Chain A
Amino acid sequence: MTATEPTEAVTGVPFTLNGKEYEAEQGELLIEACDRNGVHIPRFCYHKRMKPVGMCRMCLVEVDTGRGMKLEPSCMLPVTPEMKVETESEATKAAQDGVLELLLTNHPLDCPVCDKGGECPLQDNAYAFGPGESRFVEEKRHYEKPIPISDLVHLDRERCILCDRCTRFASDVAGDPLIHFIDRGSSTQVNTFPDHPFSSYFSGNTVQICPVGALTASPYRFKARPWDLDTVESTAMVDATGARVLLQSSQNELVRVLGVDSDAVNWGWLSDKERFIYQATNSSSRITEPMARGGGQELSPVRWVDGLSSAARALQIDPARVGVIGGARLTVESQYAWAKLIKGVVGSDNLDAQIGDGLPAVLTLGLPRTTIAQACAPGGIIVLIGPDPKEEQPSLYLRIRHAVTEEGATLIEVTPRATSLSDIATVSLRSGPGSISQLVANFFAEVGSVEGVSDAALAKVRSLLNTDDPISVLFGRGNLAESGRYTEDALGVIRNSRPNAKFLPMLRRGNVVGALEMGFSPGFLPGGVRNFGAGLENWPDVPQTTGKNCDGILRAAAAGEIDTLVLLGADPLDDFPDSALAHDAFDGVDTVIAVDTFMTASSRHASIFFPAAMFGEVDGTFCNLEGRLSPVRAKVTPPGLCRPDWMIAAEIGSQLGFDMGFATLAELRAEISSTAFSFAKVDWAALDNAEDGPLLELDRDWDLEFGEPAEPPVVASYGMRLIVDRKLWDLGTMTQEAGHLASLSPGAALHFSPTDVQMMDLANQSYVTIDHGDISFDLPFVSDHRVPPRSAWLPARLPGFDVRKLLSAGRSITSVRVRTSEAN
């Protein structure tokens, strides 16, 4: 997708290619200059997004740089003025012939049973450039046929042509150097280190970039042949980065997802979650028909119309007694439809897409927004205040990592624990309990010191930030056991100290930025409208008072002030950080309406369950954390009676006696454009074919008021500060329903700093006891240098222990008492 870049360099480098004159860009590699000018040079090891190695020798061409014709690898050779290149000469062809014959000497010709057969670069190049017949009569090299190198990837070393793509990706791009070459000569092979599986979050990329069938993905092995696949371009919805993907199906079943090289977003890379989560769509546990509780207590199938009319009745109450949670799973179109139903028709403002683990919508909507490309630009300055990007936004993590390791970007990290970026960060600082805003304020102060932070580090940050260059602030909730207020304050400090700072929200849930844009937050209407009084075009009404967020809705429900709770793909019982409050809330409501794909802990309590069509089954639009729109496309038909979410909203609207005004996606999109300001100029028709997707116009220029930062709370001297965040692999519903991903989450264990392990004299033990109120929990623990002293880190939603039992919504920080366990 380089076409978006200027193709005319300011000073072109003239060169001769097959007798014709061309111009290359300054420093452009010969293979790229040839690509751009429509001359294809065969290659295996060259990959646009990785450093060239010149390993396979397939791209040898004859080049004359003034010293006579010589074979040179075009992937390693920058074009120089007056260079003469022959890609079709006898010598070039002989070299190509030779390399292919040599590659095929030891390559098993098992193409008929190889997953890659039909889309294999080795096959293609052998046909196009190869000698046709082999003179190799010896026994081919033999290895044990595919060996699993991780839970997701199999390696067939016989097929491997040693191009160094997977190994380079693992070490250079992902930063997980878990696979490498071993042995020498023709026995050279890719392998893992003993007892260290290739357990990278990005392992699936190696399968995609493998030019032969050496690396295959467990979920796709022997599932389909490439020529049987139907393909559409779509967008991954597992996190807010919105990586661009190809969805591929065979016989109306999703079988594979590939990364699309989008310049603006993911550069072709995907996390394994984005790549393999499609298996949840195929899960046999999907709920495929509407259900309701009849006279009996069991949920049983009902007709759509009966379920819809029951739902309408449950919503025809005092709007203040209706609460709606969720919506980040939905497309922008469905979000609009639901926002209109709840805020415009029902009249309730109790609508929140974040489930107690985010930050106020006004920050995302109102702070000046940057883009991934701007933040990760060469020499840029990135300030990270939030969770570990590798766990929560893995595709974004790869971009940040590249910017820091390859492009000279500066990364200043202010996080509660060391993250996956700490090793490469320019400065990595730990924020103390509730004191992040005080630490950040010190960045912009002339003098001063902060406890627990070295003066040298502080001085370095001051000098790095003492610049007029734009600063990109990536923000999110780094610690769910602490109030989001502190992060909010820290952002306020930066906003006030550096008015030219730009921000990128690292909110976790899929289409959460789209949801906020569509009004899925109390106090907002679609398009970021805050002024309720004016009303909205096409809407019968708007709420007159600001409603409650997720936290507030659950509190009100627990107090008996909410009668009808609508869950839009939300599972607060398993997901809301305060599990006790969530349970109380469910006890306090009359009717739970769940619009979901699976039976979750929460939807199990539903009185009415509407089966929604999900990722891969619906057309729509995704809005990523930059505010960039990209298409979400249906590839397979929804199972059973599942329907897109927006249709369910429209049907409930008509049951309430209101014509929502749209019966098709096109009508819905037209209404969004006329209602939501930020969508006014969106060219919906062009969206499907847009290369990087358009950015919403978000120059909101709001004058955000940040109050005085809160004072850090007093930390109990006996306690250890609890740090709670998320892992990529957890007990989330989608992950658990995506067969091969279900077993990847690590067991719950407390992580202590090695210092604390020593101080608490735990060296020979494996369990500790946590006292929480009257209850005690025995938990395994590990020593982990990423954890600061006097802290205990435990990610949420891991098998073995639900850390949410220790959390209370509204508590500013959480401390736990830890003692030696009798379980040892």
Chain B
Amino acid sequence: MVRQSATRRESGGLGVTTHTNDYVPHAAGYVDNEGPKIVTSRFTDRDSHTLERFEATGGYRSIRSVIAGSPADAAQLVKDAVLLGRGGAGFPAGVKWGFMPPVWPRYLVVNGDESEPGTYKDRLLMEQDPHQLIEGCLITCYALGLNMCFLYVRGEMALAQERIATALNEAYEAGYIGQNIFGTDVGIDIVLHWGAGAYIVGEETALIESLEGNRGMPRLKPPFFPAAKGLYMKPTIVNNVETLSNLPWLFQHGSAAYKQYGSEKSPGSRMLAISGHVNRPGVYEVEQGVVTFRELFYGDNYCQGIRDGNDLKMFIPGGGSAPWFFEDQLDLKIEAADVGAAGSMLGSGAIVVMDETTDAVKACLRVVRFFARESCGKCTPCREGTTWEEQILQRIYDGHGRPEDIDLLLDVGSQISPGPYPVAGWESEGMTPVAFPPKQTTICPLGPSSVAPITSAIRRFRSEFEAKIPDPDDSNSDSTNAEVGS
């Protein structure tokens, strides 16, 4: 199974070149912040991705001890540790596992289709420590009593695919995957599947559709909750790469040790991918619910301040889909529940920082364009609405906007996401609090995500929008609209 991928590569199937250890990251890489090292313990080793290094540093020991015990015990430990999902929703993995009805066959699907704008932490986990992920998969498979795992890796991540394929082959050779793993009567297969480059396939039901060989389009939940009706309509657990990468450490050190890190609500660490106008962007492993955004942006162990000493204008706390935060939220602890209550989401831990030189309209346009291009085309409001939003924003940005366009923009957004949209800073602005997530007329949250930058930007920087819109009564204006109007 996995060998198939390796064969394709050898035959030059997709033209992927073999990388060596002289790999130069094409995005900011891991930054060692001297914090907890639950999933990044080997990241500073140049051969972190090899089986040799992995085993020399304690790898494949957890799974051995897990297999010696009962699956129920393993599942219970994950439940006890309150391991929160790292894909975006932040749902406890142990609870999710419990949703599986006693139906076989059942599957584990690992979501490695990381594509949220600003997120690049799963890529590092797959590139730098593929065996850690594989061990996490094995533990999960054993705990859930299943023997087939699908690793869905984003199409563009050539090095991650390369490293995982190599690691899988190594593990198969070593007898860690396949029949009778570690000399027991347990058999687990792991299949590597390459994505084809669609953002929406990061959504679990779309991922399942894609894995089945169909066009990646989300299924409606209910009835298609993967835990009950997932891959091939069988019970399926879809877990994020980072979630499973936590398991080897967790099982080696126990849930009590795990809970010593992080807050009570959110134990453990999180991989945060920080990009934008900070002095030291990169992926940091930080304790959940302990560090604040301010510490993260300005702390010496972290990003070391905004570039050129500029002021912060806004930041996106959880990937392109998340409503924006501003300096009012800097002292929030980085923790899913708190961020959610403040009107945004921590999502997949992608933080984008924008300084005072940033054009709010342009930033908004850029994010909306992403969603318009990545809409899968299934639901009318998202398919047509996101493109319309982009067209209006482009018009405003180009200086051809009409005064009514700002409200039109909000109204088009309300057709994708009806009702009040979550917004940060409601306390200081005397607004009614609205918690994340927003309501939606669509199947999945992609469409509503395009509304996040619009409501965030217009709510806070409406004057910037207005400044770009020519006055229709001003005959001196050189805008197209004014000429038409005169």
Contacts and interface: CB of A to CB of B under 8 A. Distances in A.
Contact of A71 (B215, B220, B223, B441): B441
B384 A186 contact: yes
B412 to A, nearest CB: 8
Contacts of A99: 380-381, 415, 441
Interface in B373-392: 373-381, 383-388, 391
Contacts of B388: 102, 105, 136, 138
Contacts of A164: 378
B408 A102 contact: no
Contact of B387 (A95, A161, A186): A186
B377 A183 contact: yes
Given A71-B439, A99-B441, A162 B220 contact: no
A95 B384 CA distance: 14
A186 B372 contact: yes
Interface string A38-66: 00000000000000011111101000000
Contact of A135 (B198, B408, B440): B408
Contact of B384 (A58, A70, A103): A103
A744 interface: no
Contact of B439 (A55, A58, A70): A70
Contact of B383 (A97, A135, A188): A188
Contacts of A76: 220, 223
B442 interface: yes
Interface string A83-123: 00000000100110111011101100000000000000000
A164 B373 CA distance: 20
Nearest to B371: A185
Q: Tell me which of A105, A135, A184, A185 has the highest count of chain B C-beta atoms within 10 A of its own C-beta.
A: A185
Contact of B378 (A55, A60, A94, A183): A55
A56 B381 CA distance: 8
Among B374, B375, B378, B414, the one with the most A-chain Cβ atoms within 10 Å of its Cβ is: B378
B37 to A, nearest CB: 39
B290 interface: no
Interface centre among A53, A55, A58, A161 (most CB of B within 10 A): A55
A73 interface: yes
A188 B380 CA distance: 11
A133 to B, nearest CB: 13
Determine the main DSSP class of A at the interface with B. mixed
A185 B383 contact: yes
Contacts of B380: 55-58, 99, 102-103, 161-162
B190 to A, nearest CB: 30
Nearest to A44: B380
B418 A102 contact: no
Interface in B434-452: 439-443
Contacts of B441: 57, 60, 71, 95, 98-99
Interface string B394-430: 0100000000000010000011001100000000000
Contacts of B443: 54
Interface residues of B, number: 32
A180 B215 contact: yes
Contacts of B223: 76, 78
A193 interface: no
Contacts of A91: 418-419
Given A54-B443, A136-B388, A184 B418 contact: no
A557 B92 CA distance: 86
A57 B442 contact: yes
A184 B376 contact: yes
Most chain-A CB neighbours within 10 Å: which of B223, B375, B384, B415?
B384
Interface string A684-696: 0000000000000
A101 B415 contact: yes
A181 interface: yes
Nearest to B443: A54
Interface string B346-386: 00000000000000000000000000111111111101111
A485 B314 CA distance: 85
Contact of B381 (A54, A57, A187): A57
Contact of B418 (A56, A94, A106, A161): A94
A57 B379 contact: yes
A788 B277 CA distance: 69
Interface string B236-250: 000000000000000
A160 B373 CA distance: 19
A147 B373 CA distance: 25
A121 to B, nearest CB: 14
Contact of A184 (B373, B414, B419, B440): B373
B220 A185 contact: no
14 contacts: A76-B220, A78-B223, A95-B415, A97-B415, A98-B381, A102-B381, A102-B384, A184-B375, A184-B376, A185-B383, A185-B386, A186-B384, A188-B377, A188-B383
Interface of B: 198, 215, 220, 223, 372-381, 383-388, 391, 395, 408, 414-415, 418-419, 439-443
Given A60-B441, A184-B198, 18 more contacts: A56-B379, A78-B223, A91-B419, A95-B441, A97-B415, A98-B381, A98-B414, A98-B415, A105-B388, A138-B395, A161-B380, A181-B215, A181-B377, A184-B375, A184-B376, A184-B377, A185-B386, A186-B375
> Sorted from nearest, which 8 A-B pairs have the closest CB atoms?
A188-B377, A98-B415, A186-B387, A102-B384, A185-B375, A138-B391, A54-B220, A57-B380
